[in-house]
Amino acid sequence: MTDRRTLAVVETRPAVGDDVEWIAELRAIVLRSDLMRLGRYDDVRVRQRFRDAFEPAETQVIIVDGQDVGSVALRDEGGSRWLEHFYIAPSHQGFGIGGSILTKLLDDDVLHRLNVLQGSPARALYERHGFLLERQDEVDVFMRRERGSGDSTISHDR
């Protein structure tokens, strides 16, 4: 993707067990600057935390123009659905892919939750899709999107 004006074909596919290593690597790349800024980057731990939590049945691989470029997981817990492991390769960020995926995945009949690292630019994307601050600590910002809040979402991520 060299032309930001060109709309890409964005699709998803179910993850499989063999996806674990490349998604763990993508996670390390995507989170590195935020974790370093927060003094929390550990080259081994950032990958292992993903490996330990990876559930292929809950995960979708994001495909753009036929290329695997990201992941996203939805996990049901206690009456809400957690949006997790939402990573898009840096080469594909800023093209509206994140907004497109959120528009497809978010169900207005479900309470959605997520956490994002303090200072992450991804927070603005989530806010544009109706997520509001629930609580925060020195590392994480926990957000929620109430049922029925989809009417005000914007489907781009710039």
The vertex-10 CA angle with 46 and 87, nearest 5°, equals 10
Q: What is the value of pTM for the model shown?
A: 0.88
pLDDT tens per residue, range 47-88: 999 999 999 999 999 999 999 999 999 999 999 999 999 999
Instruction: Spell out a b/e string for 25-55, using b for 16 or more CB atoms within 10 Å of the CB, else e.
Output: ebbbebbeebbeebeeeeeeebbeebeeebe
Q: What is the pLDDT averaged over residues 108-127?
A: 95
Closest residue by Cα to residue 61 from 28, 87, 82, 90 = 87
Mean pLDDT value across residues 23-47? 97
User: What's the pLDDT tens digit per position in 118-137?
Assistant: 999 999 999 999 999 999 99
Quote the pLDDT of residue 8.
72
Model pLDDT, residue 7: 60
